Structure 1
Amino acid sequence: MTPEDGAVSCDLCNRREVTCKYLARYNKEEGAYAQVPAEWTHDGADASLSESHSHNHEHEQRSSVTPSSGEIDANAIHFIAPYVFQQARLELPRPNLPVPHDVSALIGDASSIRSIAATFYMDIHRWLPIVSKRGFFTYLLNPLTQRRTELSLLTLCMRLCCSAPSPDANGDGGSSSRLPLYRIAKRYHHEAETAGVQSIYVLQAGILIALYELGQAIYPAAYLTVGACARYGLALGIDKLSLTPVGDMDAYSWNKVEEKRRLWWAVIMFDRFLSLSNPTRPLSTEDPTFDTYLPVDDAAWDDCVRLGSS
């Protein structure tokens, strides 16, 4: 390749008044052919190989805990230009976020996860029905769904909001007895968001964390968590489902739409509850209108029985 082909002569060749010839070399890191002066191809070969080996070793160490560049680019494009994914009917790559050992120790095996979920549906689900019972047991618990990250995070937050502080040896009322579980849940939820995991299960986990913070009067963390949940819901686009009729769809699809509507209603309620003591504080969500769909009957939703034309 010569400068006449579009490449620019380097300073070294200009000073020597020689023709600057380029070799086409495929750059694996950039995914394209890089133009390199021919006289540079051998001088820095050893240094390039050493640097490449060091970079590949570091990349292998980080690949298990950080999303790949392709996943990051896909998440960025999906957020900036979602219509591109809609028109091409594309799906986001699912980040492979490992489950930390402390999280695995807290949620246990499949039997322990079922026990935690049973307690949650017995105590919390009765008055805050935002996690589909049938969807959790028949879909999320199914190993074929390959949603290990979301399952672990949601189960951890289920256990968190079902836990109550108990008096400890220091006699301080147990204010710190559950802090390790709370910190682990907050950290893992943040890691899932940072890794680009976009699903309603991450939002459900965030709402359950906010519920725990509200119940334990952890302020202003509760206010900040609800605000983050509002932003996350807007990024998922679930706020629009409260104003859009679902039309004709199967029971499973209707159940998922209803679940997303309930999640957005939970964010709306928490957002306003936190502003009762200070009404001048701006809300993170818009006020519902007369066209906003309300949640359907709880029993019908649990049984996946569609009612009406909503």
Structure 2
Amino acid sequence: MESTDTIAKAACAACKQYKRKCDKALPCCSTCTRLHRECTYLDPAPRVTAEEEITLLRARVEQLEKLVDNSIFTKVSSKPKTDNLSYIGGETSGKAASNLYSSLFFLDQRYFTHLHRKQEPLLLPTTRALAEILEPELGLPGGLCQLVSRYFDAVQGWMPVVSRMRMRRVLDRSIGEIKADTAFLLSCMKLVLQDPQSQNFEDQSLYKALKAEYLDLEQAGVQSLRLIQGGLMIAVYELGHGIYPAAYTTVGICARQAISLGINNQEIPQFLQPWPEWEEEIRVWWFVMMLDRHVTVGRELRSLCTENPKKNMPLPADSEAWDQGVMAAPQRLYISSPMTVRSSSFARFAQAYNLLGRVIRHCDDQDQDLSFMLDELSTLHQATSSLLEVARNESNEDLTLAMSICFVLGKSLADFSRALMKLHKNFLHNSFYQGYADKASEPRLASCIRQNNEHSFNVMRDTALQVVDFAQVLERCTVVVGISKTSPLILHSLYRGAFWLSYLSATNREDKFVAGRAIIDRVLRALSVRWKLAGMPLFPNPRVCY
């Protein structure tokens, strides 16, 4: 065995550099001797023990955590308080620092979870553009209170997604403490109250300004419930005044923002979350799903942005208790609760749109077996008809409810009717153009398809006449309560009914179909004072073909 005095522990520096085999001979290895070059052996680095390596790693982790705290989690510096919104902050577009924290949170959420971090809301001061929008209200004593009061009086009945208690707390604060997302929500309240007779409606200057602010706040990294609520109001404005496809894309943006905040998973409240706050998030998510189905029902094979609610998804609770800020939650109903259980009007609204979502997915499924398709058609028809009857009976039990049918329960009745018409119109269309009866594998199935064709035609006719009844009730209610409180979401049902009555009157020429179409036209003309879409002649020819 060779002596350690003649053999080095490691290769020489020259052999390491040129990646040559080294025999480690001392004082000079054979390779360096043959090439006549200097042979140098470097002292080996001291071996690090396991304990020392762990200590070094811990120190490195602490160093990185401090770096993250200093560069990412720096809070937005507070601005001095002032009594005038127009002097708070600046523009968010281009000048706001990029929200690195939000970007990294989306790229690798598990990293932040490992560091026991959570995404803190980004609170920006009110921008100059939002201050200019609210300047008329700020110039009057109690101007913001009057704006909020008008909103709750005209909109909250059919869009109950904003907490009255929270808005009271906002209005009790100093003007200078209002943040950008809250100012954006107040500005959107002002927008949704606009009608075709409003000043500057035709040039849509307010709408364009708020769409720009919506994008700026999003690019600045603002994520909050108030931003989503404002976005929903913009979408309602676009729906009511026929601004497409902007309405469709705005609803999709609201859906993504809501999923980003996690309010789509509301089976249980967060730790120590007050019931009114939990209820507000439930209502916002339900309204997102409602608008998603509303903008999707008119076109075939258009995917929904939101999934069907799970069976443990809570339904909206009693609106009166929520508005009053009752601390103890009332009895909670879920999407799986029996439909015969009496629920709040907004819960019926949610159930109607849940069925509409199931109908949309049924109609978009092009690969169904004929037997299965007929069974599902029957199931959806029975469920929708049963819930329609329950909602109609509830509205007839109370005179007050009957008078407000066009604003709350009436919206649900209109949506149930729309779900029936969507379901059976789709079946009739596909049965005719795809020849379901000819494709049937056995005579019994072909006979069943022909029977369903007749049944679907009768359902469409009866539902169209029910829409006429609804239009007459709507007309009486608007005389008593006022057109300003009507929802733009009922317009689609009226147009659907008018479309089918046009076909029936052109083919059968029965007086009831002609008179029904005239009634719906009269109601739409009256509603055009509030919503521009009601005055648009989508199919002026009464002989329009199916």
Q: Same fold (TM over 0.5)?
A: yes
CA positional deviation for 1:99:
2.9
CA distance in 1 between partners of 2:271 and 2:120 (Å): 23
CA positional deviation for 1:159:
0.8
Aligned with residue 228 of structure 1, among 253, 261, 270: 253
Aligned with residue 282 of structure 2, among 228, 243, 261: 261
CA distance in 1 between partners of 2:235 and 2:107 (Å): 28
Aligned with residue 215 of structure 1, among 240, 249, 253: 240
* Cα 1:62–1:147 shift into 2, 3 Å: closer
CA contact (8 A) 1:94 1:197 kept: yes
* Cα 1:145–1:299 shift into 2, 3 Å: farther
CA positional deviation for 1:279:
3.6
CA distance in 1 between partners of 2:125 and 2:169 (Å): 22
CA distance in 2 between partners of 1:232 and 1:247 (Å): 18
* Cα 1:279–1:104 shift into 2, 3 Å: same
Question: Where does residue 24 of structure 1 map in the other structure?
Answer: none
CA positional deviation for 1:194:
1.3
CA contact (8 A) 2:123 2:180 kept: no
Question: Where does residue 245 of structure 1 map in the other structure?
Answer: 268
Which of the two has higher C-alpha Rg?
Answer: 2
**Partner AA of 1:283 in structure 2:** L
CA positional deviation for 1:302:
0.7
Normalised to the residue count of structure 2, the TM-score between the two structures is 0.40
Question: Where does residue 290 of structure 1 map in the other structure?
Answer: 311
* Cα 1:233–1:307 shift into 2, 3 Å: same
Question: Where does residue 187 of structure 2 map in the other structure?
Answer: 156
- Listed one character per residue, the Cα deviations across residues 150-180 of structure 1 (whole Å, up to 9, x for unaligned) are 2221111101111101288xxxxx9x52611
CA contact (8 A) 2:228 2:258 kept: yes
* Cα 1:261–1:248 shift into 2, 3 Å: same
Alignment of 1:47-196 (within 5 A): 66-69=95-98, 72-82=99-109, 84=112, 87-89=116-118, 91-96=120-125, 98-100=127-129, 102-105=132-135, 107-109=137-139, 111-139=142-170, 142-143=173-174, 146-166=177-197, 176-177=201-202, 179-196=204-221
CA positional deviation for 1:97:
5.3
CA positional deviation for 1:96:
3.9
User: Higher helix proportion, which one?
Assistant: 2
- Listed one character per residue, the Cα deviations across residues 228-283 of structure 1 (whole Å, up to 9, x for unaligned) are 11111111111111xx2228846xx2211111111110110001011121141111
Normalised to the residue count of structure 1, the TM-score between the two structures is 0.69
CA contact (8 A) 1:99 1:152 kept: no
CA contact (8 A) 1:116 1:158 kept: yes
* Cα 1:167–1:291 shift into 2, 3 Å: closer
* Cα 1:90–1:184 shift into 2, 3 Å: closer
CA distance in 2 between partners of 1:210 and 1:103 (Å): 19
CA distance in 1 between partners of 2:158 and 2:207 (Å): 22
**Partner AA of 1:146 in structure 2:** E
CA distance in 2 between partners of 1:214 and 1:248 (Å): 37
- Listed one character per residue, the Cα deviations across residues 61-120 of structure 1 (whole Å, up to 9, x for unaligned) are 989963225xx1112123334452682356244234523253243543572111110000
Which of the pair has the greater relative contact order for Cα pairs under 8 Å at 6+ separation? 1
**Partner AA of 2:101 in structure 1:** A
Question: Where does residue 201 of structure 1 map in the other structure?
Answer: 226
CA distance in 2 between partners of 1:235 and 1:225 (Å): 15
CA contact (8 A) 2:102 2:119 kept: no
CA positional deviation for 1:126:
1.1
**Partner AA of 1:192 in structure 2:** L
Percent identical: 28
**Partner AA of 1:79 in structure 2:** F
Bigger shift: 288-297 or 132-141?
Answer: 132-141
* Cα 1:280–1:228 shift into 2, 3 Å: same
Over the aligned positions, Cα root-mean-square deviation in angstroms equals: 3.0
**Partner AA of 2:215 in structure 1:** H
Give 5+ residue unaligned stretches, structure 2.
1-69, 72-89, 334-546
Give 5+ residue unaligned stretches, structure 1.
1-30, 33-60, 169-173
Q: Is residue 274 from structure 1 mapped to residue 322 from structure 2 by the alignment?
A: no
* Cα 1:217–1:308 shift into 2, 3 Å: same
Aligned length: 240
**Partner AA of 1:276 in structure 2:** V
- Listed one character per residue, the Cα deviations across residues 166-200 of structure 1 (whole Å, up to 9, x for unaligned) are 288xxxxx9x5261111112111111111111110
Bigger shift: 141-150 or 291-300?
Answer: 141-150
